[in-house]
Amino acid sequence: MVWRLPFFALAKFDDNNCRELPTVVTDQFFHNYSTHPVSRYWELMKNTRFGQLWVLGSWVLAPLLTLLSCAAVAEEIKIGGTGNGLGTIRLLGAAFSKTNPTMTVTVLESLGSSGAIKAVPRGALDIGIASRVPTDAERKDGLLATEYARTPTVLAVSMKSRVTGITRAQVADIYAGTLVKWPDGTVIRPVLRQPDDDNTKQLKSLSAGIEKAVLIAETRPGLPFAVIDQEAADKIESIPGAIGVTTLALIRSEHRSLRALSIDNLEPSPKNGASGDYTLIKRFYFVTKAVPTRLCKSFLNSSNPLPGVKFCCRRVIGFLDVSLTLHPHGQAESCTR
How many residues are there in the chain? 337
Burial 298-329 (b: 16+ CB within 10 A, else e): bbbebbbebeebeebbeebbbbbebebebeee
What is the tens place of the pLDDT at every residue in 223-254? 999 999 999 999 999 999 999 999 999 999 99
Gap between the Cα atoms of 233 and 227, Å rounded: 11
Gap between the Cα atoms of 304 and 288, Å rounded: 17
Please name every residue paired with 150 in a beta bridge, in sequence order, or none if there are none: 283, 320
Q: Which one is predicted more confidently, 159 or 290?
A: 159
pLDDT in the model for residue 25? 38
**Helix, strand, coil fractions of the chain, as percent rounded to 5:** 45, 20, 35
Whole-model pTM above 0.75? no
> What domains appear along the chain, each with residue ranges and CATH number?
41-72 (no CATH), 75-149+286-336 (3.40.190.10), 151-275 (3.40.190.10)
Q: Which SS3 state, helix, strand or coil, does residue 162 take?
A: coil
Q: Residue 206 — pLDDT band, cuts 50, 70, 90?
A: very high
Gap between the Cα atoms of 244 and 171, Å rounded: 10
Q: How far is CA 249 from the centre of its chain?
A: 13
Gap between the Cα atoms of 256 and 158, Å rounded: 9
Gap between the Cα atoms of 207 and 209, Å rounded: 5
What is the tens place of the pLDDT at every residue in 85-139? 999 999 889 888 888 899 999 999 999 999 999 999 999 999 999 999 999 999 8
pLDDT in the model for residue 28? 43
Q: Dihedral of the CA atoms 154, 159, 162, 168 (nearest 10)?
A: -10
pLDDT in the model for residue 310? 38
Percent of the chain scored above 90 by pLDDT?
A: 55
Pick the closest to residue 240 from 159, 154, 172 (CA basis). 159
Is the pLDDT confidence value at 315 over 50? no
